[in-house]
Structure formats: structure tokens, C-alpha cells
Amino acid sequence: MEDGKGKRKNGTEIILSTSINAHFQVVFDCARSIDIHQLSTAKTNEKAIAGRTSGLCELGDEITWQAKHFGFYQTLSSKITKLKAPYHFQDCMVNGAFSFIKHDHYFEENNGVTEMKDVFAYGVPYGILGKLFNRIILKKYMTTFLMERNRVIKEVAERQ
């Protein structure tokens, strides 16, 4: 597993696939919409507070997010490191609580149904304690977080 800069990293990988009854350009745009992301993260009150703060992410954009997770407000900055519209984009953490995050988003259309695939890789700091926290709590939390994001993307895209 690589961290987005070509370096090998040990970490956790979550792979999700979501079928969406919408054209893949629509789904691609919904997936890179900061506004839709904020809608999908209402439970954690996630807000884009610096860099691009609304609209569609483009190659090279940096976004700093603030959200409440596990009772604490945290900030995380990410950058769009790859973009091949409307098939793929990648965002990587630039600064935040994880040791790394690399999130690849893939889109493929077949007979009007778009398959949106997430490959979300991350590493946790704090040695054995971080690994234990990841195994017991964090991986499930992150999977649920991504599934909610995808549910909202699907809902919005299918209405368009």
C-alpha cells in the first residue's frame, strides 16, 4: 500500500462499492462536491474551513476540514493529487491526526448505472495503542463514515 507519494506504508484499507442509478459524470461531480460532502457529514458537523471551501474539487486543490470526532474537534487537510475526469480522483491527507490517508475514487458506468468504488487507505499513529484502537473502534467508524457519505452521494445523484 502506498501513501499517495509512492512511499510504502503499513495501514488499513477499506474498499466499498456503491451502485448509483445516474450518469457517471453526475456521480463523479457529486463525489468531488465539497457541499455534498458537508451534507453527508452533518453528524460530525464537518466544515471546509480553508482552501477550497465550496464547489467541486479540482486537481491540486487543498481543503482543510474541521469536524467533531470522538468528542474532540479536529482538523484535517487534504489535497487532490490525481484527477482523470470522470473516471478517477484521489485525495491524500497533507496534515491531520492520521499518519497518512490516501482515498481513491473510481467511477464506471454500465447501462446507466454507475459503480462508484472507494479505496480508502490510512495509517494510525501511536504504535500498538493506535493499532488496537483501529482494530476495536476506528475501522468500523471509518467504514460507517464512508458508507454514509456514499448514501448521500447516491441520493443526490439519483435525484438529478
Is the pTM higher than 0.85? The answer reads: yes
pLDDT band for 10, please (50, 70, 90 cuts): confident
- What are phi and psi for residue 99, nearest 5 degrees? -75, -30
Residue 9 has pLDDT above 80, yes or no: no
- pLDDT at residue number 3: 47
Tell me the pLDDT tens digit for each residue of 122-150: 999 999 999 999 999 999 999 999 999 99
Tell me the pLDDT tens digit for each residue of 92-125: 999 999 999 999 999 999 998 999 999 999 999 9
CB 158 within 8 A of CB 21: yes
**Structural domain boundaries of the chain?**
16-159
Please give the CATH number for the structural domain made up of 16-159. Answer: 3.30.530.20
Tell me the pLDDT tens digit for each residue of 52-94: 999 999 999 999 999 999 889 999 999 999 999 999 999 999 9
